Structure formats: C-alpha cells, structure tokens
Structure 1
Amino acid sequence: MNALGRPGWRRAAAAALLALGASAAQADSAKAARFYEDALKRFERHDVDGAVIQLKNALQQDARMLSAHVLLGQALLRRSEAAAAEVEFNAALSLGINRAEVAVALAQSLVAQGKASEVFKRPTLVPEGLPDPVRKQVLLVRAAAASDLGDPARAQQQIELARAIPPDNADTWLAEVPLRLRARQFEQAAAAAAQAVRLAPDNGEALYQQATVPHVQGRLDEALAGYDRALAADPRHVEALLARAGLLLDQRRDADAQAQVQALTKLAPADPRVLYLGAVLAERRNDTAGARAALKAITDQLDPVPIEFVRYRPQALMLNGLAHYGLGEMEKAKSYLEHAQRQTPNSPLSKLLAQVYMAESNPERATQVLDAYLRAFPGDGQALVMMASLQMAQGRHARATELMQEALKAREAPEFRTALGLSLMQGGQAGTAIGELEKSFQRDPRQAYAGMALVSLYLRGGQTAKAAGIAQRMVKQQPGSPTAWIQLGIARKAANDLPGAREAYQKAAELDPGLAEAQLALGRLDIAQRQFDAAQSRLAALLKTDGKNADALYEMALLSEARGQTADVQRWLSAAAEVSTARNTRADQALVAWLLKREQPGPALDAAKRLFIKAPDDPQALIAYASAQLANRDAGGARTSLTNAARRSGFGAEPLVQIAAMQLDARDLAGAAYSLDKALQTAPRHVGALALSSTVALQQGDLALAEKQARQVVQLKPQSAIGHTLLADIAQARRQPAQAVDALRKAHELQPSSGSLLALMRALGGQDTGGRATRDLAERWLKTHPDDVAVWKALGDAQARAGDFPSARRSYEAAVKRRANDVEALNNLANVMIRQGEAAAAAAIADKALAADPGNVAVIDTAGWAHHLAGNGSRALQLLRDARLRAPESPEIRYHLAAALAKAGRKAEAREELEVALSGSGFDGQQDALALSQSLR
C-alpha cells in the first residue's frame, strides 16, 4: 500500500492544516497588536482620526480584540459619534470586559444620544459594586441624565451620593452648576462653580462652568473673558469654544466666530450646535446651499431623538425648530417650538379606546384610560370586567378579585362570577376558584370560560374523571359547539384515552371544517402516535390555508424534532415566533430554549428580548428572558426579570422552584427565599423546594433552618444523596469537617457518581495533609472509571498543590487525551508546563485552550504569560491587555501585563499597573512583581 493509502496520512494532513490555521490566526493577532499599539500612540497625541483608522484595521485582523473595541469607543466618543461608540462598548461587554472599564464612557454615550432613561435601566450601569472612582463618575453621569429627564431632585440626589465618595474633588461641584442654572438658582450656581475652581484652579471645565453663570445672566463681557480663561487652560474645550463662538456671532464678529467654528469642526464635526453656527455664518455669506446642507444635517440628527429627551432641553428644541424653520418645514418647526399636551374628557368611548390599547398589547395605557373612566362611572360592570382582565394580564390578581367582587355587589351575573373565578385561579387560589367557577357553570352551563377553566383546574390536580365530566356536560349542553368537543378531547387525552380523544377532535372538525384548533389537536395526536406523515400532511394543509398560523408553525417544529430533523427546528420556531402574539408565546419560549441548548447565547438573548417586548408581564416570558440574560452573564438583569416572574407567578411549586434556582444563579438570595416560601405555602412537602430552600437558608446564614429542611429531605427521600449532601454543606459551614466527610461518604455510597466523589475529595482536602488520601480516593475511582475526565482533572489539581508537577502533568494529559478541547485541563496543563520551564510548549497548549474558549480570562492570562516567557512580546502584550480589561481586580494579571509592558519599553504604563497590583493583598508572583517595580524606579 502506498503512503496515500495509509489511514494515518489523513490525520497528519489535518494536523498540518490546523497548524497552518493556528499560525495564520497568530499572524493576524500580531498584525492587530501592531495596529493597536500605533493607535494608542496616536490617541495619546490627540490624533483621534488616525487612532480610529488604526483601531479599525486592528479589528479587521482580530474582531475579538477587547482593548481595540474599548479604545475605539473612547475615540469615537471624543469625535461625538456617540451611537458608534456605544456599539463598541457593547461589543466589549459581550466579549467579557469588566463593566467598570467601560461604565462611565458607555453612560456618556447614552446621554449624548438622548437615551437618558437607559442610564438608569441598564444593569451594566448600576453604581453598586463598581470601584469608588468609577462609581463616582457613573453617579455624575446619572445626575446629568436625570436632569435631561426633567427630574432635578433625582439629579441632585445623584450628585450628593457622588460627593459622599472621597476624595472631594471638582467633578461633583461642576455637575451641580448646570442643575442650579436650569432652576435659575444663580447664587447657588456661582457658589458651586467657585468651589470647583478652588479645587481645580487650572481645570478648563471648571473655568468654563464658572463663565456660564454670567452668560446666562446676560453679563456677556464677563462671560467672554471667562471663556477665554477656560480656553487658555484647555484650547480643545468644545463647550467653551461653542459658547465663545455664539457670543462672537451675537456681537457680529463673524471673522472671529469663523475661526472658532473651524476649530470646532475639527474637534466635533457632527455636533448639531457646530452645524448650526456654520449655517448661520453661511447664511450671512449668502451661501444658501451651504446653510441648507448644515440645517438638513441638524434635523437628520435631532428628528429621531425621542421627545422625552428634548422636552427638558430648550436649546435642543429651539435648535431643531429653527433648523426646520430655516428649511421651510413649518409644521415640524411648530411641533418643536410649541410642544404641548392635550387632555381628553372621559366618556363611554373610553371603553372602546381601552379595547384598542388591549389589542395592541398596551395594558398600561388601557389601565390609565379605564381608571379615569371608572372614577367618573364607578358602577359600569363592563368596564369593571375589562379592568379585571387587565389586572389579571399584569399579574395583579388580588386587585382583579376585588374588582369582580365589587361588580357582583352591584349585580349578580354568571359572567361576573366567571371573571371572579378566573382571577382567583390566576392568583393561585385554586380551591376557592373552583367553587366560584362551579357556581357560575351550575347557573349557566353556557359559560364556556368557566367550563374550560374547570377542566384545566381539574386536570392540573390530576382529577381526569372530573375534568371529563365537566367536558361531557359542556358537550351535552352545546352539542353543536366545537369548543366543547375540543375540551372533551383534551380531557380524554390527559386520561390517556387517545382513541376517545381522536373521536372528540374529529367531531369538532366535522362541526367546523375550517377550525384550525381541531386540526392542530389531531396533528398533535398524530405526532404522539408517531404517525409523522399524517401529521406532516395535516399541518401542511393548515399552512397552505394560513401561512402565518403560529400554532401550526410551532407544531411543525415539534414534528421536525421528533423526526430528528434538527436543522429545520429553529427555522420553524423562528417563523412561529415572528407571527405569534402576546397571548401565545410558547414558540418564542421554545426558540429561546432551543438556542440556549445549541449554545447560541447571543441569538437566544435577541429572541428573549423580542419575547419580553411582546409579553412583558408573562411569568414564563420573564423566565425565558432571565435564562438568556444569565447565559450572557447579565446577572443584574436576570435578577430583575426573575423578581417580576416570581411576583406574577401563581403558587404552583414547580415554576417557583425553577425561578428560585435561577435566582440563586443570579446571586439573589432574598428573591430565591421569597419564591421558595411562596412554593412551600401550597406544597410544604415538595422535596425540590425544601432542598433549594435549605441551600438558600445556608447561604443566608440561618443554619438551624437549613438543617431542619435538609433532614426533612432525608426523611422524604431516604435513598437519595441530596439530603446528605445538604447536611455536609451545613457541617462545613459550622466548621465540622469530620461530620461533613461522613455525610459526603454516605451520599457517595447511596448514589456513587463523579460529582459525589469530587465533593468528598474537596472535603477531604482540608483534612488531608499532603493530599495523599485525596489522591488515593481519585486513583481508586479511576481504576474502574478510567474515562472520568473530571476526576483526572481533580487528581491533577491535588498533585499540583502537592508540588508533584510531573504527576500533575500526566493527569492533565490523561484528561486532554479523553477530551481534547477541555479548556480547564488545557489551561492547567499549560500552567504546569510553565512551572517546568517549557514556556514555548505551554504557549501552544494555552493557544489551544484559547481557541476553545476565547473569552476565558484565566486562559487569556495563561496564554499571555506563556508567550511573554517564550519571548513572543507582541502576542503577549495583546493577550495580557485583554485579560487586564476583563479582570482589572486581579493583581496577578496586572503584574503579568506590567512585565510585558516593561519588556516592550512602556515603563510608565508598567509602573502604573504594578502600583495597583502591589496595593492589594498577596498573590502568586508578588515577590517578582516587587523586584520588577524596584527595577523600574
């Protein structure tokens, strides 16, 4: 057999191709690093345009280069391209940057775009948890945002919070000046400006703010002199240049004003104020075309800005009004210059208007209209029923119940009692709801909603016979009603009477051949009975009639999954989600779950956002949104979503346990405790709720409650490991290591697994001097479970801790042999190889880990350090800058970056990193960092 016939040649060729690919990727990264370093130098020289070009070049070579995204955002913000800057900061966040690195600049970009409310909504910009200097600046941006939103009290509150963070500096006083001026509190504005100048006498911004006070008061010569002082301190101060140019125009000093505008055009060419000044000068030169072009550029920028932003900015309102006026667009000019609100009196038409709002999924506006109407006509039963429906839709079931009880006081009516039963049902009071619904159904069996609700409640409680009985009564009362037959089919299917269910559904289809629900029900039966061709034909016929039938599209997705046609599942789910409404979001939820299952967190979050916009008060929509937020590492956003989901959920244990588990993932202990308490109120013996509640109590420090619930779990599930695992956690919290080990041994005996073994190994590690017993435990397990990658890694960790690096290396290599792209094993193997002095080989291994998980900061640091030690300075610097941006709190990463910077000749930057690294607690490599610091003095 010739060489090409041997099977090994294919593997060799594949390896060569992979090596070529890796080399090409590293070459691209090296180019990107060179572009970035040049851009950084240009940015430091205020060559912002040149920096932007080079940063875009860097990102063409390496789109995931974190430091390039951050610096590009800063450069774009400096060029007043706020929207583009926001894109870059969001890209950095999606790549895993620590939010403290971009929080201030991102907030500034939002305010500059007129998205002031977003500053208060985005979890990334929550001040709590940020380092003090960053928190202070974020609070000041929030103050400016609150001012733009017309809330001066909130703005001043943000300033006071910032001022409470030491040290006291000019920034907080500068933020106060425009607030005071807007309120025409000139003395307080002057005092704040004076304090800012005292704290920062050579600061251009402080001098500018001081000059604005006499400007607003009409003391123009004094203001002009003040702007001159500000520009002497900072010749590039845009606001001072704008103010000075405006004053010069007012004084008809056009030549001087033109010089200012030319300077401004270089600094902020897209700023609408600069454009307007240019338009005025062009008009004075009789350059009509130039003036119109400038005015059109203004309206193109300001027209898309929400009115909520410009409402409290008279300058922006006037600027855009004047621009439209100059363009001859009188109606648009008038809308900006005469912004006013109109009130409409209440009338019975309010009910119709409310229905319109409800139809377009705007419950808040519908509620406002009905609330105003009911104040005028409190006894209108129809309006009360509508209001109750709205309250239920928004999860306010107690309020809905009150409204229906109020309606029943005015008039006894089956439909009112049905609405009362539905509100009780939605509020988790199933027993009481059944009583009210039975009264309604008994009095009027034509109350279809009452009948359907009763069928649902009985099925939920496992009472299939009662559910079938209600459905039979519905069929007897209305034998010609397809809805009644469908309810009978649902009840029979739940009782596993599939032939009976098919008979009921077919009867519904006979009564109404065009009834899609009957055909869908039959299609579901076809899928359940694996009659795939029949299901395909039935669903295709439905879609031929109505291509936007969300239910049929959803069932097509289920059929594709049942057939193993995974490529078609997402296509059908996306199509179903696109056409579904707020009342039917299961396709949206399934799409989010499918994308998460396929490890596509970004698309999953996009799908979840669309779902949330569609159904913002639906608990299941909120759960899906939180799942996507957690997958995208937005714990703050997930906490908010889950809190709302728990409040809007009923009292069923399963969804509440699901919510609580996610709240734990989002580090919301109080929220998880609330959800579990709610679940245990109706299901006190629910093992899942008890186990999770024990975990929450433990994390909250209530060890007595945690132990009580753990022992309840042991009692309810004696052959399960979970109760003993909980008891082990409690023993460890009480610093009772022997009891913890005993409990974990019991858990491992009951349900031996890799997880229970690893937990036992961790517990033994604290008592096992030298780690011999821990290693013996792992080695015994691996004799019978040789492919257990997790235990190979744990054994390697134990060996590395004991200083046995050759053995640790063999264990990590065994893990990698069984799972070639295991990031943790590769990263730890690279670190062991560094310890053994094999930096070049370690860099190759670390690059492999990096290819598998490019956002893992530990891997980025390992790869950067290995390349530094191997002499690959450009690659090391790029990687370590990236790691530093993702984890600025890590002194070890800062030391590694400092070493690479020092080697690259950037000694000042290296000293800054070392200063921060050495200011905190000890870290691995601290002595080397101290030595490097001394060498750089």
Structure 2
Amino acid sequence: MKMFATTALGAIALTGVAMSVATPAQADGAIAKHDLVLSLGLLTDGNFNAARSYAEKAIKADPKWGLAHAMLARTYLALGDGIGAEAELGRAAANGFNMTRGHQMLAQAWLLQGDAKRALAEAAKADPRFGGYAARVTAKALALQNKSPDAIALLGELLNADPGNSYGWSDLARIRYNTGDVAGAAANAQRAVALDPNNLEALTLRGELMREQYGLGAALPWFEGALKRDAYYYPALIEYAATLGDMGRYNDMLDATRKALAAQPGNPQALYLQAVLAARAQNYDLARGLMQRTGGAVDDLPGGLLLGGTLDYQAGAYEQAIDKWRELVGRQPMNVTARRLLGAALLRSGDAKGALDVLRPVALRGDADSYTLALVGRAFEANGERDWAAKYLDRAAWPATAGATPFGSDDGLAVLANAAANDPGNPVAMVGMIRGLIDAGQASNALDRAKALAAASPGAPAAHLLVGDTLMTMSRYGEAADAYRRAADIKFDEATMLRAVDALDNAGRRPEASRVLALFLGQHPENIPALRLAAHWQIAAGDWDGAIGTLEDLRSRVGSRDVGLLAELAYANIGAQNVDDALDYGAAAYEIAPMSPAATDAYGWAFYAAGDSDKAKDLLEKAALLAPRQAGIRWHLAQAYADLGRNAEAKAQIALALGDPSFAERAPAQALLKTLG
C-alpha cells in the first residue's frame, strides 16, 4: 500500500518539494519564483488557465529553470493537452529537472495522446512517493484498453489506502460512467466534489451525470461552478454549450462555444457545435464551412455522421448522405433519428426494400411516430404491397401516444439465446435474449432473468427498464411504474419518462403521470415527444388554452407541415371557442393531407363548431370511411347527423361509437341517443 501514499495532486506535491530546494539560476529568479508560487496556488484553486499563464511568466523570467517548465507541463495536463505537456517535460529535463519526479506526468501526457501502452510502461517507472498519481494514470490506461474491471479494482485499492484522494474518486466516477454504472458514478463524483470543491474534472462530470439523471436544467449549476473557478476550462465549456443548445438557449450556446474557441483555437468540438447551431437555423452553407474547419476530426463521430449526412442531403448528395447515415445506424442501431433519416433517403433513392429493412424496428414499436409510419406505408406501396401499406398509413393517421417501447427484433429466440450463451458477460446480449423471451410470450422467464440482471447491475438504468418493460407486457402496470422509477432515479431521460408516464397512466394514476411529465418538461422544455404528450393530455382534460400554448410552442419548433399537430390545434381551438382559428388550422391540415382521417375529422369538426353542419357532415363521412374503427369520428358524425335531423343515421353512428370499449365520451353519447327516440 505504500505506493498509494501521496495525494491525488501528486505532481503539485512534487513541485512544491522541488521549490523548497531549487532556485532559479538567473537574475530574474525572484520574479520567476513569485510567478511559480502563484501558478501553484491557482492550480490548487482550480484556475488551470491562470496557472498556465503564471507558469509561462515564470519561464519568461527564467527560461533555463527546469522546475518552471515542469510546472507548465502540469498545467497542460490539467487542461488535457498531452502534446504540450510532453514538450514541456522535455524542456524541463533539458534544464536540470530530475525526471525521477516526472515519470507519472509523462505517463499522463502519453495517455492524453491516446497511447495507453506507453502510458502504462512509463507509470510503472514512477517513484513510490508518487504512486497514487501513477496508479490513477494506470487505471485510466487500463480503461482505455477496455479493461475497466481491472481499472476499477486498482482505483478501489488506491482509495482504500487514501480515501481523501478527490481525483481518484473522480477517475473512478468517469470509468464507472463509461461502463453504464450511472448510480455508482454519481456517488463517486459527489464524493470527489465534497473532498475538493476545486476539482474541475469532478464538477464537470457531476454536471454530465446530473444532466442524465435529472435533466438539462439540473446540470447547468455544476458546469457554471467549474467555470466560476476557471472561465476558460474547456471540458466544462463544451458540455455547458451542448446543454444550453439542447435547452433552446442558442445565443448562450454560441457565447459558450466562442469562449471555448478562445480557450482552444480551432478545436473541432466547438466548431462542430457551431455547425449544429447553423444547421438548426437552416444556414447550411455556414454549417458546411464550420465542419470543413474541423479538418475531418469529427466526421467519423456519431454527431458528425448525423450532421454530415444532413448537410450532404441538403446539397443533393443523397448517396453520400445514405453512406453516412448507414454507418451511424450500424454503430447505433437504437438511434431512431438516424434510422428515420436513412429510411427516408433510401425511399427517395428508390430502394424501398432497404427503407423497410431500416425502418421496421422503429415501426414495430407501439409508440412509432406518424412520419416513420407514413414512410413505411409508402415503402410498402412502392413494393406493391398495398394491404401492408394501408395498415401503416392508417397507423400514421392516428399515431399512438403510448410510452417508449423497445425496438422490435427480427431475430428468433434461439438466435438471441445463443448470442447470450456465447458471451455471458455481455449485458447487451443478455438484454437481447430477455427481449426475445418477451416477444416469444415467455414473460415469467423473462421477468426472472430481468430481475437477476437488475440485481447484478443496480446502478445501470437499462436493467431496471428491462424489468419494467417485462412487467408492462404482463399488464402489471403499477409494478412496472416502480421499476421505471428506479431507472429514473439513476437516469431521467426521454425514454424512461415516457415509459414511466405510460405505466402510471395504465395503472390509473394519471395525476402521478402528469407530475412526472411536468418534472421532465421543467428540465427539458424543448423535448418534442414530451410536449406532444402534454398537449394531448391537455386536450383530453379540456385545458384548451394550455393545449393551444403547448401546441403553438411545438409548431415553432417543428414547423407548420405537421398534420397531426395542425389537427390538434384545430381541436384545441374548437374547445376554446376560437372557431375561426380552428377552421384555419383544420383547412391547413386538410390541404396537406386530404386522405388523412385525423385532418379530415378536424376540418369537419371545425365546420360543425362554426354551425355549418352540412359541410361538417360531408367531411366527417369521408373521415369515417378512411378510419371506420375510430369511435371519435363516429361520435362527431352522429352529432352532425342529429343537427340535420337525420336521427336514424345519428343513432347508428352512436351505436358504433359505444361499441368501442375505449370510447371516452360515453355519457354525452348516451344522453344524445335518448333524445333521438
């Protein structure tokens, strides 16, 4: 255990020891030593950029002082600049710095450059006095080599010997986060911050974890806390900028990226975020220019592939876009946005079968969006399969508002079980097998295995989601909601929120479901699925003005070509007695999609509200033909018939509506039926 005797900032300790015995050789030595002392203090206080500046001043005062170069190297390491640190350590050695004190720093410099093997070899040479620092570098190098269990064990040994090592705790948190153990990472990061409030790595990681666990707004104070200590700390700036962008605070996002570029001129991440911002504003030429300035550094990253494909598509380079999105789907098969884009591009290029292959896993979900369902319907049409096309186009007209569900799978249970058996330590394979058991109707077996996985990985939200998903298939909604709550306590993201809301609603706990939705929207005010669900519930509750506000907010984000959104705006304005607005929205929806039963019903119902039952009847009859099993349309048509004195037809429509167990307006329908005789 003696190798772990030093504190987390072992390099700072070594610098302080060296300062007590070494003095500058030049006449300006007093100035150099003063600046170096200031640099050390600023580094300890978490102001890394200022520490670098004073180390540079010390070198300027005495260029031949090896310790000053070593201190500058230490600031470069704190700022994540492995190349700069390596260069300064070379200058330090050339000017008399004893490198037996610097092996651990050189190891970290190589690690920051991605050379884990070289880092491990150099860390092994570290003086035992700096063993804690060397152990941290070793652990991170092991994690980089996909040996996270070994890395976690090594850090556990370090922290048992030195529990006050803040940077050891933040390293452990980062490794656990990367393995999916969000709960364990959060606890470790919290411990790191408590031990050293100036640990910028821990503060930034705490923000990332808070963003996952509780939402965008909850993350901001942690990034801001890091930036109060060092306004140009790049890792916090870039995470801060990305979070602001996701919240719709685009001006603030732009300011943060500009500051990030001031900290690291030409940094690809900051330029990429600016390109995303430009693309959101539909300034595609600017976005392309910014992406070109990255020098291709982000082109192969998921975000770069998504944006690059979008820019190619906008420029008419469809094949290049397809190649990028296909690569992204291959890496992230659960990325719904990427599948939707790729499917649309393939369909446009004439590859209907390829589009179906890509979109099928999304379309099989109970909560598939109307755009994806319409794409699938058109792909089946292009293949000449009109029966299947009609099925999906019907679903597109009346998309479900159910919670998020897992992708469907074409693989049989035997294939999935074999994959899990061949790789028993792979949780992804185990999840696939459990989902296969659910699809095969073996819910009890699936539940036992899901609970075992959750017990083995209590800090992994995906394991608790799996328990909830299994319970949902068994109609045990209350228990499913409890499982989703456990997942939400670890990671409160869109998928978890939608599942929790759906489970609570099915369990008859709509007020709790509404609170969960409101809490999520408080943290993610720009989230489109959450806004859609909120508007849908506001309409169901008769909160017409609230629904109009939410839907108008949505329209500002998704544009005025979303037929479902326009139809709901028509319904909400009818409820609020804004008849002229209702007619405008109904007409707009109908003009875009005259064969959509939702648009046709909304337009007809708006005419009914305006007192024109004749026009309403024509449209509502058409809507009933387009969606004969939709009870709400039958009820609207019944009222139009009743107003026109066509009582027998009105009674027939009411009977059809009442035949649907899910029909929500049974009381007024039965009341009207009595008056018709």
Q: Pick the TM interval, shorter chain.
A: 0.3 to 0.5
Question: Which has the greater radius of gyration?
Answer: 1
Structure-1-length-normalised TM-score? 0.33
More RCO (CA 8 Å, sep 6+): 2
